[in-house]
């Protein structure tokens, strides 16, 4: 998984007055949890743009002014209710030998057969939550929707898990192709129907011949 580096300054004071002063100076108060003790630091608001305003998932490398480097993931973020400015950010520290739960975006590839025939692609889950070691976290979960016909769906149980575990039930639907008013029957379905009709014809003729005898 790709990482974003954030340069921060460790905070000595964590009271309301100090926090307000940081925000007035364009800094965002942050806390890193998961280690021996919480680490309080601040970073410029612009440093979070590539981390927050994106559908992609990233890990974070926090480089503090005391020379310490910490690996983490974004855990929670608070915005101002009116201005949408970032008020506070919580991170969770990563360790190479400890699994972490994270929401990973779903990336659909290919052109669905059902959509070509007038069906509608519906995305039930744009992100899936997984659990994995930091080194095994994927950038995204790719699903090939090419073979999906009208009425078909992809559930979590249909996906290969690889080096991570899905934290959803197997029947959780990720995407589906639904019918619509302009939908047409798939060519394969036509062939199946024609084959079924052809198989019924000899049986009907046999029954008619038996009745005449």
Domain extent at residue 161: 101-182
The pTM of the full predicted model, rounded to 2 decimals, is 0.77
Mean pLDDT of 156-180: 93
- Region 12-27: mean pLDDT is 86
Q: Which two tokens stand for residue 156?
A: 């979590």
pLDDT tens digits along 143-166: 999 999 999 999 999 999 779 999
State residue 18's pLDDT score.
Answer: 87
pLDDT at position 183 is 60
Which domain-ending residue is among 67, 94, 121? 94
To the nearest whole percent, how much of the chain has pLDDT over 70?
85
Model confidence over 65-97: pLDDT tens digits? 999 999 999 999 999 999 999 999 999 999 999
Please indicate, yes or no, whether residues 115 and 69 belong to a single structural domain of this protein.
no
β-pair type (86-93, 100-109): unpaired
Same domain, 142 and 71: no
Domain boundary among 71, 94, 117: 94
List, in order, residues 6 or more apart from 16 with CB less than 8 Å away. Answer: none
In a domain, 156, yes or no: yes
Secondary element (H or E) of residue 108 = strand 100-109
Average pLDDT (177-181) is 84
Tell me the mean pLDDT in the region 11-15: 80
Is residue 57 domain-shared with residue 113, that is, in the same domain?
A: no
**Residue-level pLDDT at 81:** 93
């Amino acid at each position: 998984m790709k990482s974003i580096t954030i340069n921060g300054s460790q905070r000595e004071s964590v009271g309301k007055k100090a926090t307000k002063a940081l925000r007035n100076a364009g800094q965002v108060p942050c806390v890193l949890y998961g280690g021996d003790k919480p680490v309080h630091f601040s970073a410029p608001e612009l440093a979070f743009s590539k981390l927050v305003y994106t559908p992609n998932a990233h890990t974070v490398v926090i480089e503090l002014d005391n020379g310490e480097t910490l690996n983490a993931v974004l855990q929670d973020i608070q915005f101002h209710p009116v201005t949408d400015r970032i008020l506070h950010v919580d991170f969770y520290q990563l360790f190479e030998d400890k699994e972490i739960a994270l929401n990973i975006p779903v990336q659909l590839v290919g052109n669905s057969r059902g959509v070509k025939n007038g069906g509608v692609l519906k995305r039930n889950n744009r992100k899936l939550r997984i659990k994995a070691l930091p080194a095994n976290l994927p950038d995204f979960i790719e699903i090939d929707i090419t073979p999906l016909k009208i009425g078909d769906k992809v559930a979590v149980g249909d996906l290969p898990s690889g080096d991570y575990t899905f934290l959803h039930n197997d029947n959780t639907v990720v995407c589906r192709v639904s019918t619509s008013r302009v939908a047409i029957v798939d060519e394969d379905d036509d062939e199946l129907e024609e084959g079924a009709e052809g198989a019924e014809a000899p049986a009907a003729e046999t029954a008619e011949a038996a009745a005449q005898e």
